[in-house]
Amino acid sequence: MKTYQTSHIRNVALLGSPGSGKTTLVEAMLFRAGKINRIGSVEAGTTVSDSSPEEHETASSQVLSLVAFEWEDHKINLLDVPGSLDFAGEMFATLAVADLAIFVVDATGGVDHGLLNAWRKAAEINLPRMFFVNKLDREFVSFDQVLNDLRDNFGSGVAPLELPIGEGPDFHGIADLLTDEAWIYDSGKAEKAEIPPEMEEQEKEVHEALVEGIVVADDDLLESYLEGEVPDFDTLESVLGQGVANSSVFPVVCGSATGPIAVDRLCNYICEIGPSPAQRPEITVEIGGGETKLGPDNNSDALLFVFKTIIDPYLGTLSLFKALTGQVKPDTELTNLRTEDRERTKTLLTLQGSQSVDINEVAAGDIAAVAKLSNTQTGDILSAGVTNLKLSLLSLPRPMLSVGVVPRTRADEDKLSQALRRACEEDPTLSLERNEETQQTLLSGLGETHLRFSLKRIERKFNVGVDTTDVRVPYRETITKVATAEGKHKKQSGGHGQFGIASVRIEPLGRGEGFEFLNEITGGVIPRQYIPAVEAGIAEAMSDGGRVGYPVVDLQAAVYDGKHHSVDSSEFSFKMAGKLAFQGALESANPVILEPMSEVEVIIPEESMGDVMGDLSGRRGIVQGTDSGDYNERIITAVVPTAELVRYAIDLRSITGGRGTFSAEHSRYEILPAGISPATPPIGSELQE
């Protein structure tokens, strides 16, 4: 593939709900471009962009895929994005590098939660957007109904550029509203024709509305139009392109990916009205304490943004990047601004799904891949020039669901930690944590599907067996009243014996205040050098667990009396005496179980408000407040027992039809109410009745 100038590059994200036909649309575009001989099947696993066994198994995209191809005198970098919320991290990464988002709308379903969610994220960064209404050759579809749905949800900027000719299985062409021409696909290829007589009046009416909508964006053009001068096609297209670039106009085109009908028209529009990287706003960076703006200038030092990492079984680690500015060639030396390590672009590639092609140059604004960088991760910035530059372009969704992970066999133990680490490098929406309190390794992700298929990929790619366990909730114990006890450790077995007696008082502290130790010994009844041993014994007993077996917290312990022996006393004797004294006092201190509480923010559609509030109440949650969000959403803040949130990501999506999201942060510990049993028993023991 040759090198294209920045003005002839189009970086396009394909967004939409699962099943809307994004991956088939990629196939149809490649077919029309002459890159493949037939359109692959998602169900059969023969598409270019869905290449993993996990994607073949579910017939759905799970991983962002780059498919680059040439269309006339342009290069189009298609970024096929999974539609499921479980793989939303792929969408976040794509939006950080795309210059145009095309929302693929299933004509049989219209606007749904997946489309709304993707639109919201694109709108937050003011990314240019347009629509492709797909599957118009299906039974019982209505383009007018879909168009009204789009306008109701996304406003007056929604502007149709085409009307379908024929409905359902009779759909066989489109009417171009800019040129007043028809394109018919009866022969399998586009053939120009006259607007069908039965559509002339409708086409004329929509054409005039479109022209009026375009000319209002340009004062001079509007004045000429009002004086009776009708702008020509080139002028309309130019002003329309400006409206797309500044996100004030959202064109709607239509067709069928399986036809393929009007897919070539979509490619034309991408090149004709879609913005190039040069038409996008410059990025603001901080250099040496001051701010400056950078655009895709081929004469500047190269600055690369790595937005995706792929671990390929043959090529090793592939880093997908966008050249923010400057040109990149093989053997370019770069500095990773995060690690300050030097990296070298040994092999540059362009991708068509899992297939790669070596290239000799990457222009500013282009998207490509580089193989085998030594210490570069998703989100890193690589610079061939200044190294005191600060820039952050990637913000990822936070994990919502966790599972415990353990090696399946002893042979898997050594490989598992590295496999999990590599998986998190490839997919940074996964997180790995070792919880020492519960003695679990936790893998967290965006949902049940995300975790399930991430674990399958780990097993396949790294040849390691991994099993899952339920997440243990870190309960604790504390005391509610003052108590005292004497701990006595005496042993005599010939030679030096063991002797230590310590009297200890324990009393409760405020929640979260931890452990405090006081030395109240007078008269040397316990020598000074043995006092730390008493404290160590108490601390060890607290860690070992209280009456039920959970760690004990939030108390003050004071050693106030004791006895020692000049020969038989030792640090060990007094450590044991302190431990025994604490255990004795604990029984009289009215111990209780503490459960962790989380502060939760839940974002849901308005219509789910009652169901979600009721569900939170059923989880013993206390709602702190509600607020209004965008797109008829509601934001609920609440405090909920952490044990009630272990599977909340799954349940929330079920309640809200997939539209609900939440975030949770540990807040505090509170006493577990009487009559409620802890969700998980203490480590190494069964919960006592």
pLDDT of the residue at 230: 81
Is 260 within 8 Å of 183 (Cβ atoms)?
A: no
The pLDDT of 563-573, averaged and rounded, is 93
Residue 633 pLDDT exceeds 70 = yes
Domains of the chain, with CATH numbers?
6-279 (3.40.50.300), 283-390 (2.40.30.10), 401-469 (3.30.70.870), 477-590 (3.30.230.10), 595-671 (3.30.70.240)
Residue 368 pLDDT exceeds 80 = yes
Residue 497 pLDDT exceeds 60 = yes
Cα–Cα dist 118/123, whole Å = 9
| C-alpha 112: how far from chain center | 20
Is 61 within 8 Å of 20 (Cβ atoms)?
A: no
pLDDT of the residue at 220: 82
pLDDT of the residue at 538: 97
DSSP state for residue 230 in the 8-state scheme:
P
Cα–Cα dist 425/111, whole Å = 34
Encoding tokens for residue 535?
């404290």
Residue 512 pLDDT exceeds 60 = yes
Amino acid at 505: R
| Greater model confidence, 86 or 556 | 556
Is 543 within 8 Å of 505 (Cβ atoms)?
A: no
Average pLDDT value for the chain? 91
pLDDT in tens, 320-360: 999 999 999 999 999 999 999 999 998 899 998 888 899 99
Residue 543 pLDDT exceeds 90 = yes
pLDDT of the residue at 47: 86
Beta bridge partners of 523: none
pLDDT of the residue at 495: 66
Q: What is the 3 state secondary structure string of 460-492?
A: HHHCCCEEEECCCCCCEEECCCCEEEEEEEEEC
With bands split at pLDDT 50, 70 and 90, how would you rate the model's confidence at 494? Answer: low
The pLDDT of 258-262, averaged and rounded, is 95
Is 391 within 8 Å of 293 (Cβ atoms)?
A: no
Strands 498-508 and 633-641, bridge-based pairing: unpaired
pLDDT of the residue at 684: 66
DSSP alpha helix (H) spans, 333-480 = 413-426, 448-462
Cα–Cα dist 61/313, whole Å = 19
Cα–Cα dist 510/151, whole Å = 56
pLDDT of the residue at 688: 42
pLDDT in tens, 578-596: 999 999 999 999 999 999 9
pLDDT of the residue at 59: 67
Amino acid at 180: D
For residues 543-569, one letter each, b for 16 or more C-beta atoms within 10 angstroms of the residue's C-beta and e for the rest, the string is eebbbbbbbbbbbbbbbbbbebeeebb
Beta bridge partners of 355: 352
| Closest by CA position to 317, among listed 397, 392, 362, 378 | 378
Cα–Cα dist 339/351, whole Å = 27
pLDDT of the residue at 687: 41
The pLDDT of 661-678, averaged and rounded, is 93
pLDDT of the residue at 392: 86
Residue 56 pLDDT exceeds 80 = no
Residue 58 pLDDT exceeds 60 = yes
Distances (CA, A) of 294 to 127, 162, 253, 308, 590: 18, 37, 33, 22, 65
Is 257 within 8 Å of 25 (Cβ atoms)?
A: yes
Residue 313 pLDDT exceeds 80 = no
List all residues 6 or more positions away from 91 whose beta carbon is below 8 Å from its beta carbon: 13, 15, 81, 82, 118, 121
Cα–Cα dist 43/45, whole Å = 6
pLDDT in tens, 157-178: 999 999 999 999 999 999 999 9
Q: Residue 234: left if φ>0, alpha if ψ -120 to 50, beta else—which one?
A: alpha
Residue 51 pLDDT exceeds 80 = no
pLDDT of the residue at 507: 97
- Tell me which range, 198-212, 394-408, 526-540, is most confidently predicted by mean pLDDT: 526-540
Rg (CA), the chain: 32
List all residues 6 or more positions away from 47 whose beta carbon is below 8 Å from its beta carbon: 23, 24, 26, 27, 40, 41, 353
Cα–Cα dist 81/64, whole Å = 5
pLDDT of the residue at 640: 97
For residues 206-223, one letter each, b for 16 or more C-beta atoms within 10 angstroms of the residue's C-beta and e for the rest, the string is bbeebbebbbeebeebbe
The pLDDT of 94-116, averaged and rounded, is 92
Cα–Cα dist 361/355, whole Å = 18
Which of 42-46, 234-238, 505-509, 645-649 bottoms out in mean pLDDT, i.e. has the lowest? 42-46
Q: What H or E segment, with its residue span, contains residue 74?
A: strand 74-80
Distances (CA, A) of 649 to 60, 424, 660: 21, 20, 9
Q: What's this model's pTM, rounded to 2 decimal places?
A: 0.86
The pLDDT of 500-511, averaged and rounded, is 96
Encoding tokens for residue 183?
């394109």
Q: What H or E segment, with its residue span, contains residue 535?
A: helix 531-544
Report the alpha-carbon angle 65-67-71, nearest 5.
155
**Alpha-carbon dihedral of residues 112, 114, 116, 121, nearest 10 degrees?**
180
DSSP alpha helix (H) spans, 112-195 = 113-124, 143-154
Cα–Cα dist 497/277, whole Å = 82
